[in-house]
Amino acid sequence: MTASASCFQIVDPAFAAYVLHNAPLKKLAEGFDWVEGPVWFGDHQCLLFSDIPNDRILRWSEAGLSTFRAPSNYANGHTRDRQGRLISCEHGTRRVTRTEWDGSVTVIADSYRGRRLNSPNDVVVSRDGAIWFTDPHYGIVSDYEGYKAEAELPCQVYRVDPDGTIEAVITDMACPNGLAFSPDESRLYVADTGRAFQDDPRHILAFDMGTGRPGRGSLFHRIDPGAADGIRVDDEGNLWSSAGDGVHCLAPDGHLMGKVLVPEGVSNLCFGGRAKHRLFITATTGVYSVVLNRKGAQWP
Ligand code: MG
């Protein structure tokens, strides 16, 4: 385990209250090819995350690192539903699944109107139990052996009702990727890593949820450097986004508050730990954590 004592960059002075200045960025594990999809299991005090090119889900705890599932069908993003069950996006099988209490796997979605999904990327569960996921084409245009395929659907955001009904709820994004609700679920944030705006894959859009479905999206923030992939919200409504130089904290009005600087490009993040104020970060070849003075809002 390595540690660095100066991982915070304050942009807005108010950010100073969001961090613990002596808290080090800790490298928890390393040696992966592309890590993604961190999800915290407080009941087991462990973190699950995907090592996508190596087709496995790994389990980290203070006791060490182990394999949770291999092969993982090239799993990417994960979350937990309102019963605490693992919800996973799988590139290889082009589906979203739920792992039941007995360890069996249930398919939540693998098609829409008779056409196969592209490669579900990231997922979140709202209070009503609906499962919301993004479906860009990365998993079928990349060169993972045997999985290259023609897209049958545009890159969209879907909602799966608890009764199983699937609905395309955002249809005009280029490559929807990470997604997160504001604490009161009045707003849905979605990162677009495609080139929808000014031929630039760096945007986070905000969608008003007044009708219970996303309304028209508006530009929330342009990440620089890098792109926004995974995003999470804290209990005061700040949005924490992956970026090329670490994790960026964005206020609810979209302005940059400050950064957690990470020595590798960040793909995704989640809140966890005993007080829900430890930020876990998947960053290219390594997994990191840092303790903040803010707590995660988002389930789980
Ligand atoms: Mg992603």
Mean pLDDT of 240-264: 98
How many domains, the chain?
A: 1
70-87 pLDDT per residue, tens: 999 999 999 999 999 999
**Which residue range forms the structural domain that includes residue 60?**
2-291
Counting residues of the chain whose pLDDT is more than 70, the rounded percentage is: 94
175: left (phi over 0), alpha (psi -120 to 50) or beta: beta
User: Per-residue confidence at 5, pLDDT binned at 50, 70, 90?
Assistant: low
In-domain check, residue 298: no
In-domain check, residue 296: no
11: left (phi over 0), alpha (psi -120 to 50) or beta: alpha
The answer, yes or no, to whether residue 1 has pLDDT greater than 80, is no
**Rounded distance between C-alpha atoms, residue 97 and residue 117, angstroms:** 13
235 Cα to the center of ligand 1, angstroms: 22
140-172 pLDDT per residue, tens: 887 666 778 899 999 999 999 999 999 999 999
User: What separation in angstroms does the CA of 280 have from each of 37, 38, 62, 230?
Assistant: 10, 7, 13, 12
93-119 pLDDT per residue, tens: 999 999 999 999 999 999 999 999 999
In-domain check, residue 21: yes
The answer, yes or no, to whether residue 212 has pLDDT greater than 70, is yes
**Rounded distance between C-alpha atoms, residue 184 and residue 258, angstroms:** 23
In-domain check, residue 174: yes
230 Cα to the center of ligand 1, angstroms: 5
Q: What is the CATH number of the domain that holds 135?
A: 2.120.10.30
- Give the predicted TM-score (pTM) of the model: 0.95
Q: What residues contact residue 52 under an 8 Å CB cut-off, 6+ apart?
A: 33, 34, 35, 36, 74, 75, 76, 91
In-domain check, residue 23: yes
In-domain check, residue 264: yes
177 Cα to the center of ligand 1, angstroms: 5
In-domain check, residue 262: yes
135 Cα to the center of ligand 1, angstroms: 10
The residue whose two tokens read 């005090």 is 45
In-domain check, residue 299: no
The residue whose two tokens read 């196969």 is 116
Residues with CB under 5 Å of ion ligand 1 are 121-122, 177, 229
